[in-house]
Structure 1
């Protein structure tokens, strides 16, 4: 059994989904501080062969507030139709637009008022489409009693309480977490390093690290699942 913990991101890039696909339990860390100009309420798509952000407007987003305290500014004029219009214009000629766009449209029309929930649901909806078998949890719900613990200690305790002794972290965490420290608590720590391989977009000039939306628009679920396996554990 393997466990991962990450902030909920809005239709995140394929490396995030490689992590989701690599574990049995994936915990959305929604009770940690919000990250401004990150990927909690925005992501990048391919528009006119260039990367373009789409952003969900939020009420008073602040790094001094928890992610699950941030509400969507759903009274903002044009939301969510402007986002959907941009995505439609960007991908209406993509080979899997007909299959993928309804998933995106349904999410943005769901009436969800929390950015944490919206972002998590975006991950859940893609995982369902790709038939990824993973148990998705919120840290604020399933592990609220661990809040306030030192960062490594919390991850170790969440892993143990999930019935696992194997924790996987994105590769960037290798400067934060020590394998020997985790091992001393009975936990195997590994880092996932994405090996992003180009796929066919509209032109031969591949634009990497876009939202999973881009991957799904150009690849079948079967092709996408092959891309999800392109990583190394170190």
Structure 2
């Protein structure tokens, strides 16, 4: 999966359900995508938090692992202010905010390194210990779409590939399981049903960044909700 900003609960269910998780960090940056933004729950509805990146070579030439944040832009402090205002009254705000604050203020200026580091921090808070690998550190894995995923599986010696449901269209564009299955690797699709839980404000909004669940539920209940949604 591409290393997105404050991913939603389903992203962490995919990590939790895997023996190895690969960050697809060497692909093209989609500037107006989850690569650089995500949502939290404020008093008056959802709030979109967007990182500010520099693309001197143009968006079409930028990759996640070579993209840097725009120097001098105060997005980090703005995001922390929004998070504090939104979650200060939640049951687990004091348990998690200071660690999150420290990371956001001091994390890397590189987009991939920052997002991967934040995901690993959230994994640690959730007590998810799945080993992770960066695609950019594996050398040249050739191909595109399901061909590249097939080559990745073969490189790592995988016999099962667990895919987000949204990738089915390009994996199975030609045949069931695509090139991955043709190589003898079983393809399974994640089926995650987003749980409903008590938020600080009503009505409930789903598919927010996972910190919404952490602040409202704490580690044990968030992990239990992940497991329940992933059944």
Partner secondary structure for residue 229 of structure 1: helix
TM norm structure 2:
0.91
TM-score (norm 1): 0.90
- Structure 1 or 2: larger helix share? 2
- State the alpha-carbon separation in 2 of the partners of residues 116 and 128 from structure 1: 18
Paired residue for 1:150, among 125, 144, 151?
Answer: 144
Q: Which residue of 1 aligns with 2:109?
A: 113
Question: Secondary structure of 2:5's partner?
Answer: coil
Give runs of aligned pairs for residues 57-206 of structure 1, distance below 5 A. 57-60=52-55, 62-76=59-73, 78-142=74-138, 144-146=139-141, 148-178=142-172, 179=177, 181-206=179-204
Instruction: Tell me the equivalent position of 2:224.
Output: 226
1:156 Cα deviation (Å)?
1.6
36, 40, 44: which is aligned to 1:45?
A: 40
1:37-56, Cα deviation, whole Å (9 max, x unpaired):
11111110011140001122
**What CA RMSD, in Å, does the superposition of the two structures yield over aligned residues?**
1.6
- The Cα offsets for residues 17-49 of structure 1, whole Å up to 9 and x where unpaired, read as 111111011111111100121111111001114
Tell me, in whole angstroms, the C-alpha distance in 2 between the residues paired with 1:230 and 1:161. Answer: 32
Residue by residue over 1:54-76, the C-alpha shift from the partner in whole angstroms, topping out at 9 and shown as x without a partner, is 12211127133111121012411
Aligned residues of 1:42 and 1:53 also touching (Cα < 8 A) = yes
Offset of residue 180 of structure 1: 5.7
Question: 1:180, 1:37 → 2: CA distance?
Answer: 29
1:3 corresponds to which residue? none
Structure 1 CA distance for aligned equivalents of residues 48 and 42 of structure 2: 9
Shift of 1:111: 4.1
Structure 2: 5+ residue stretches without partners = none
Instruction: Indicate conservation of the 8 Å contact 2:25/2:65, yes or no.
Output: yes
Q: Are the structure 2 counterparts of residues 98 and 17 from structure 1 closer, same or farther at C-alpha, using a change threshold of 3 Å?
A: same
The number of residues matched between the two structures is: 225
Question: Does structure 1 residue 10 correspond to structure 2 residue 5?
Answer: yes
